[in-house]
């Protein structure tokens, strides 16, 4: 997998983020992935951003009225607090943390308000890099149809051709994340159902567990 691994110490668990356009299937896939990992004997903690904490609630509530850089600050404030109070403690306990939306969403969604991507990156640059950042992709027409069927959750998702804009912003965000050392796994959601996509992600993660469970080389005899 990647050479850069902030949580490479096996005792610290594994941090996996899942992002992608609204309606791509993030929440559905996270639920399947969690079940698959639990069946493998892993301890899994699922969470999402905006978080359920006080700052996450404010960011969600304010999305209809606060815009631009101010809203970007609210989401990133929630992210840093979420890391400190929820994500890091679960990683320290050795669990697999699955986070539905993380930094990639910030690099995409706040661009609907025209926020400069360089500013967005600096706001989020201190957030822990996940061990694996999954980014779901797919034909915007397919994702728009799913979103329409499910229903929009906020003004971003009501923007005309929002799925097309998200696809474009995600491509740029992925380039930035890879440049910053993120291990990005891009998956086309048109290639299978939610279960099959979760299996693809699980297989990638099992490679990590296989490597990290290898015994260290024997210490040289003195």
Ligand X SMILES: Nc1ncnc2c1ncn2[C@@H]1O[C@H](COP(=O)(O)OP(=O)(O)O)[C@@H](O)[C@H]1O
In the bound state with ligand TYD, the residue whose beta carbon lies nearer, of 91 and 123, is 123
Angle 117-124/162-179 helices, nearest 10 degrees?
60
Among 25-33, 104-112, 126-134, 166-174, the segment contacting ligand X (CB under 6 A): 25-33
Interactions with ligand X, residue window 99-158 (CB under 6 A) = 146, 149-150
Please report how close the Cβ of residue 182 comes to ligand TYD at its closest, in angstroms.
15
Is residue 10 a contact residue for ligand X (CB under 6 A)?
no
Q: Which of 108, 133, 197, 201 binds ligand X (CB under 6 A)?
A: 197
**Binding string, residues 7-46; x marks residues near ligand TYD by CB under 6 A:** ---------------x---xx-------------------
Binding partner of 85, given ligand X, ligand TYD, none, CB within 5-8 angstroms per partner class: none
CB of 187 closer than 8 Å to CB of 134: yes
In the bound state with ligand X, the residue whose beta carbon lies nearer, of 150 and 204, is 150
Binding partner of 146, given ligand X, ligand TYD, none, CB within 5-8 angstroms per partner class: ligand X
Binding partner of 163, given ligand X, ligand TYD, none, CB within 5-8 angstroms per partner class: none
Residue 85 CB partners (closer than 8 Å, separation 6+): 53
Q: Which residues of 41-55 are buried (b: 16+ CB within 10 A; e: fewer)?
A: ebebbbbbbbbebeb
Q: Which residue minimizes CB distance to ligand TYD? A: 109
Query: N- to C-terminal Cα distance for the chain?
Result: 34
Is residue 156 a contact residue for ligand TYD (CB under 6 A)?
yes
Site for ligand X, rule CB under 6 A: 20, 22-28, 146, 149-150, 189, 193-194, 197
């Amino acid at each position: 997998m990647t050479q850069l691994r902030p949580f490479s110490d096996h005792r610290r668990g594994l941090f996996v983020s899942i992002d992608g356009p609204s309606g791509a299937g993030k929440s559905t896939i996270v639920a399947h992935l969690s079940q698959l990992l639990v069946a493998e004997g892993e301890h899994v903690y699922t969470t999402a951003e905006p978080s359920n904490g006080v700052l996450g609630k404010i960011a969600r509530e304010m999305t209809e009225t606060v815009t631009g850089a101010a809203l970007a600050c609210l989401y990133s404030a929630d992210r840093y607090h979420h890391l400190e109070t929820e994500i890091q403690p679960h990683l320290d306990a050795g669990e697999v943390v699955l986070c539905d939306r993380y930094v990639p969403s910030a690099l995409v969604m706040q661009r609907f308000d025209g926020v400069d991507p360089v500013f967005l990156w600096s706001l989020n640059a201190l957030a822990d890099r996940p061990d694996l950042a999954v980014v779901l992709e797919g034909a915007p027409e397919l994702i728009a149809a799913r979103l329409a069927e499910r229903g929009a959750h906020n003004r971003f998702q009501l923007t005309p051709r929002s799925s097309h804009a998200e696809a474009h912003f995600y491509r740029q965000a992925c380039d930035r994340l890879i440049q910053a050392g993120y291990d990005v796994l891009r998956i086309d959601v048109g290639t299978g159902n939610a279960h099959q996509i979760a299996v693809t992600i699980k297989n990638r993660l099992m490679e990590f567990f296989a490597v990290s469970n290898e015994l260290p080389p024997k210490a040289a005899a003195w």
